[in-house]
Amino acid sequence: MNLSVLSSAAVAAALGGHFTLTLLYNVGLKPTAIVGRLEAFALLPKWHFFAPHPGIHNLYLLYRDVFPDGTVGNWTMLHGMDRFKSPSSCVWNPTKRLRKTLFDLITSLQMESEDEGRRHLIKLSAPYLLLIHHVSSIPRPTGAIATQFLIMQSHIDQPAHPIFTSELHPL
């Protein structure tokens, strides 16, 4: 056998083994100690498309501004997070990554705000800082001196309710 056949066989075996371990890992089986080692280095992807924890609520990111005379603007929804996706969004969805990133940040912030021991550090957390940076970078009417964001959550048959409100931050 020549070297190229052996190397092709080795690559095929490695990829096949990785595929098999990934499948076993995603169905909940941990076949060997190898999986534990690969898991420690995040080499096996873990996919949760619909189960075991499907999405049962919607999250919304809103912001408002404060003006020099002390007036506070109305809450404004960001990036159409309140709109349902159209069927064409599976083909054309230019805001998909932004909305997914915001959803992940909001979820992380929600989990951190529920931790009683770390609640006083919430304003120093990465999700909080990234959200306030994003909200602060949105074009707005001239004259706004501070901004604040609000996270709301709704369940299927219930109206949205606030779950987190930031402090005012200067622009």
2-42 pLDDT, tens digit each: 778 888 888 899 888 878 877 776 666 665 655 666 655 56
Whether residue 85 is predicted with pLDDT greater than 80 in this model: the reply is no
Query: For the segment 116-132, what is each residue's pLDDT rounded down to a tens digit?
Result: 777 778 888 889 999 99
- Domain boundaries defined on the chain: 3-40, 57-170
Give the long-range contacts of residues 152-156, CB within 8 A, separation 24 or more: 152/59, 152/60, 152/62, 153/57, 153/58, 153/59, 153/60, 154/57, 154/58, 154/60, 155/56, 155/57, 156/56, 156/57
For the chain, the C-alpha Rg in angstroms (whole number) is 23
Query: For the segment 41-66, what is each residue's pLDDT rounded down to a tens digit?
Result: 566 666 665 556 666 778 889 999 99
Which two structure tokens, joined as six digits, stand for 105?
Answer: 């940040």
Whether residue 105 is predicted with pLDDT greater than 70 in this model: the reply is yes
Alpha-carbon gap, residue 114 to 25, rounded angstroms: 29
Residue owning tokens 């709301």: 152
Whether residue 133 is predicted with pLDDT greater than 80 in this model: the reply is yes
